Structure 1
Amino acid sequence: MSEKVTILLAEDEPALGQIIRDSLETRNFKVLLCEDGEIALKKYKENDPKLLVLDVMMPKKDGFTLAKEIRKENNEIPIIFLTAKSQTKDVVEGFTIGGNDYVKKPFSIEELIVRINSLLQRTNLQKTAEIINLGLYTFDFRRQILQYKTEKELQLTHREAHLLFNLYKNKNEVLDRSVILKKLWGTDDIFSSRSMDVFITKLRKKLNQDPAIQILNVRGYGYKLVC
C-alpha cells in the first residue's frame, strides 16, 4: 500500500469537517482536522502536511489570514479554500493570497477529492520541472522564480507559476481558455475567468522587460505566449 498523504483540514463546522475527514481517509489520506485557524497553524508547524484545505470563515483566525502567514514561509504547499462566499472580489483575493483552488459551498466530496488529486499531481510535476529559458528571462518553475538577465529575482505565486508554465508548454500556439481554467481553477465559470484575466495582467507586467515576449489575447479562444 502506498504511503498516505497528509492533508490539513481547517473547518469550523464539526459535522462537515467530520464528513470530509472520513471521506478522505477512505481514499488513503491522513487528515489533520482543526476547528479554528489558530489550531490549524499549530498543527501545520508540528506536522508536514502536503496540502491544506482551509475554510475561509473560521473563529480566531480566518482562512485568508492563515494562508498569508503560511505563505510567508512556504510558497509551494497547495492550498484549497472552502467558502460560502461567491463574489468575484473574494475569489480573486483568495487566489492573490496564494490559494491554488477555491471550492464554493455546498460542494460534493467527490469534487473536492478530484481537485485535491489534481493539485497533488501538479505539485509533483513542479518538483521535477527544469529551469526554462524564456527569451531574456530565466524561469525556475520548481522555485517559482522569474529572473530578467542578472537582475533581482521575482517571486511568482503558485498560480502564476503554473499559468506561465502552461503557456510556455504551448508557446506560439493558442492555449484554450476553457481548458486552462478547468485545469488550474477547476471550473470555467465567470469568477474563475475574471481571476485568470488578473493573473495574465500580472504576468505581462513581470515579462515586459523583453519586448520579444508577449501574451496575446485571442478573442473567443484563449491566450498565446509568443516568444
Structure 2
Amino acid sequence: MPTVLLVEDEVWLGQIVKDSLEVRGFQVWHAMDGAQGLTMYQTHSPDVVVLDVMMPQLDGFTLTERIRSQNATVPIIFLTARSQTVDVVKGFELGGNDYLKKPFSMDELIVRIKALLNRKITTLAQPENEQYQIGQYLFDYPKQKLIFKGKDSVLSYRESELLKRLFLQRNQVLERSKVLQDLWGDDNFFNGRSLDVFITHLRNYLKADPHVQIVNIRGIGYKLIV
C-alpha cells in the first residue's frame, strides 16, 4: 500500500484529501503544520509527500529543505494558492517534484502522485554501478554524486537524472521538450523555467573543468560538450 504524508493546515481540505486518497488505496498521515509534518516524515518515511506552502511553524519551502537534507529522492508535491513564477521556480529549486494550484481536482492529484511513484520505482531499479567520466569529473549516478579531485558534490534526484541524460547524449542535442516530459511530466512554461534553473545548477557544478560545457541550442534543447 503506497504511503502519503499530507501536510495541510486547512482542516476541511486536509480531511477531504485524506479521505479521497484512502478510498483509492493509499495510507495517509495528515499533519496540521510544518513542524508536525517534519516529525511525521521522520517517523513514517512515506513514499510521497504532499504539502501546502503557506503553513504555521514551518512553511512548505522550509519543510522541503529539511526533508531534502535527509532524503534526496522522496517525491514532493506542493499544494499552493501562489502561482507566481518566482514561487513555483523556488519550489523546484528547493527540491520539489511537482505542484498543484488550489483549487485542484482529486483526480489530478492522484494521477500526479502515481506518476511520481512510478518514476521512483523505475529509478530504484537502475543498476547500482553506473559511473560516468565527464572530463575531470566522476559522476556516480546511483549515489547522486559528482566528484572532482576528491571533492564530492551531492546532486538532487532531478539534477542527477538531467546530467545522466546529457551525458548519454554528449556532443549531441538533448531535446528540451523530451526532458520536460520525462522528468516534469509536462512541458509547460513553469516547468521550462525550472529546467533552466537546473541547467544553471549543473553548469556551476561543472565549471571547474573548462573542457566541459553545457550549451543552449536555441529553440531545441541543450548539448553537453566533453
TM-score normalized by the length of structure 1: 0.88
Gaps of 5+ in 2: none
Q: Which residue matches 1:68?
A: 65
Q: Are residues 224 and 81 of structure 1, via their aligned partners in 2, closer, same or farther at CA, if it must alter by over 3 Å?
A: same
Q: Displacement of 1:117 after TM fit? A: 2.0
Q: Displacement of 1:85 after TM fit? A: 1.0
Asked if 1 retains the 8 angstrom alpha-carbon contact of 2:4 and 2:26, the reply is: yes
Aligned partner (choices 93, 112, 121) of residue 118 of structure 2: 121
Asked if 2 retains the 8 angstrom alpha-carbon contact of 1:57 and 1:83, the reply is: yes
Aligned partner (choices 93, 102, 117) of residue 99 of structure 2: 102
Which amino acid counterpart does residue 163 of structure 2 have in structure 1? L
Q: Displacement of 1:187 after TM fit? A: 2.7
Q: Displacement of 1:26 after TM fit? A: 3.1
Q: Are residues 109 and 224 of structure 1, via their aligned partners in 2, closer, same or farther at CA, if it must alter by over 3 Å?
A: farther
Amino-acid identity (%) = 52
Q: Displacement of 1:94 after TM fit? A: 0.9
1:145 has 2:142 as partner = no
Gaps of 5+ in 1: none
Q: Whole-Å Cα distance in 2 between the matches of residues 96 and 205 of structure 1?
A: 14
Residues 75-112 of structure 1 deviation map (CA, whole Å, 9 limit, x = unaligned): 22221111111112111211121212222222222222
Aligned partner (choices 75, 78, 82) of residue 81 of structure 1: 78
Q: Displacement of 1:53 after TM fit? A: 0.8
The alignment yields a C-alpha RMSD, in angstroms, of 2.0
Aligned residues: 223
Q: Which residue matches 2:180?
A: 181
SS of match in other structure, 1:195: helix
Asked if 1 retains the 8 angstrom alpha-carbon contact of 2:93 and 2:197, the reply is: no
Q: Are residues 116 and 167 of structure 1, via their aligned partners in 2, closer, same or farther at CA, if it must alter by over 3 Å?
A: farther
Asked if 2 retains the 8 angstrom alpha-carbon contact of 1:95 and 1:159, the reply is: no
Q: Are residues 23 and 168 of structure 1, via their aligned partners in 2, closer, same or farther at CA, if it must alter by over 3 Å?
A: farther
Q: Are residues 169 and 21 of structure 1, via their aligned partners in 2, closer, same or farther at CA, if it must alter by over 3 Å?
A: farther
SS of match in other structure, 2:151: coil
